[in-house]
């Protein structure tokens, strides 16, 4: 294989990897998502409404003006504004979420499989961080104040903790219309059916009684849907 041919293959592979790194680019002004399959077109996981029938409400959501209910074990609540709440986001590749924190409330370690997140603190003081992938598993963390911004790379485990004595609020911007969320504790110890204790005792190097205790807990989901 010639050097020029090899170089072409490498460049082509890089182009494909970049092209698949986020939601596909839209090929029209918008594609309002609908559940009705009659006279509609299936695009990027959703059916599209006839553009002539689009209304302002297809691009509108008032839910972020309402504080989330933080009276749970975690002391936090995430209110998403993605394609499920705003049908007009379909194919546009962006979404938002409001995160409310009670004093010392935690948005627990989780990841977004399909999006990078940029977090802006509106009120309060947050300790935030993410962990890099194997083998380093390096913690990159910082204390944020009102107006500060922090980025969580796509797919990496991250968290936010309100370290102040008052409520805190943040807005998360995400690079996908449907970023998804995997809360680590819920997924590992709250799966249905449960993961075998033999797997978890070896994976976490703890006694089986510890695993049984963790699996018996009620794992809070701090997301509204």
Q: Taking 50 as the threshold, does the pLDDT of residue 17 lie above it?
A: no
Percent of the chain with pLDDT over 90: 73
- Which H or E element spans position 172? strand 168-174
pLDDT tens digit sequence for 38-73: 655 555 567 888 889 999 999 999 999 999 999 999
220: nearest Cα among 105, 126, 53, 124 = 105
Q: Both tokens of residue 124?
A: 């309060």
Is 110 labelled as part of a ligand binding site?
yes
Report yes or no: 145 and 137 within 8 Å, Cβ to Cβ: no
End-to-end CA distance of the chain: 53
pLDDT tens digit sequence for 160-217: 999 999 999 999 999 999 999 999 999 999 999 999 999 999 999 999 999 999 999 9
Percent of the chain with pLDDT over 70: 84
Is 158 labelled as part of a ligand binding site?
yes
- Distance, CA of 105 to chain centre: 18
Question: Can the peptide bond before residue 100 be classed as cis, meaning omega within 30 degrees of 0?
Answer: no
Is 223 labelled as part of a ligand binding site?
no
Would you call 72 helix, strand, or coil by DSSP?
Answer: coil
Q: Taking 50 as the threshold, does the pLDDT of residue 78 lie above it?
A: yes
Domain borders along the chain are 183-220
**Would you state the torsion angle of the CA atoms of residues 67, 69, 70, 71, taken in this order, to the nearest 10 degrees?**
150
User: Bigger pLDDT: 85 or 12?
Assistant: 85
Q: How confident is the model at residue 12 (pLDDT cuts 50, 70, 90)?
A: very low
Order of strands, sheet of 41-43, starting from the edge strand that comes earlier in the sequence: 33-34, 46-48, 41-43
Query: Could you give the CA distance from residue 18 to residue 223 in angstroms, rounded to a whole number?
Result: 30
Q: Both tokens of residue 57?
A: 């409400």
Q: What is the mean pLDDT of the chain?
A: 88
Q: Both tokens of residue 203?
A: 């994976």
Would you call 3 helix, strand, or coil by DSSP?
Answer: helix
Query: Could you give the CA distance from residue 43 to residue 51 in angstroms, rounded to a whole number?
Result: 13
> For 49-104, where are the E strands, in sequence order?
76-81, 95-101
Q: How confident is the model at residue 36 (pLDDT cuts 50, 70, 90)?
A: low
- Which H or E element spans position 162? strand 158-162
């Amino acid at each position: 294989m010639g050097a020029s041919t090899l170089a072409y293959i490498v460049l082509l592979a890089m182009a494909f990897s970049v092209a698949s790194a986020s939601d596909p680019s839209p090929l029209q002004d918008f594609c309002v998502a609908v559940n009705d399959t009659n006279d509609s077109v299936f695009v990027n996981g959703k059916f599209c409404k006839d553009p002539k029938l689009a209304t302002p409400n297809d691009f509108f959501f008032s839910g972020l003006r309402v504080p989330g209910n933080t009276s749970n074990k975690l002391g936090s609540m995430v209110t998403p504004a993605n394609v499920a709440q705003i049908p007009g986001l379909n194919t546009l590749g962006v979404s938002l979420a409001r995160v409310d924190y009670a004093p010392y409330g935690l948005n627990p370690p989780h990841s977004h499989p399909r999006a990078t997140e940029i977090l802006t603190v509106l009120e309060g003081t947050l300790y935030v961080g993410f962990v890099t992938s194997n083998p380093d598993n390096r913690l990159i963390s910082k204390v944020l104040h009102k107006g500060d911004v922090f980025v969580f790379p796509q797919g990496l485990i991250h968290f936010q903790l309100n370290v102040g004595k008052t409520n805190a609020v943040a807005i998360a911007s995400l690079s996908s219309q449907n970023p998804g969320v995997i809360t680590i504790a819920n997924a590992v110890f709250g799966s249905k059916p449960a993961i075998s204790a033999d797997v978890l005792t070896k994976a976490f190097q703890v006694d089986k009684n510890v695993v049984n205790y963790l699996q018996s807990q009620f794992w809070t989901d701090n997301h509204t849907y």
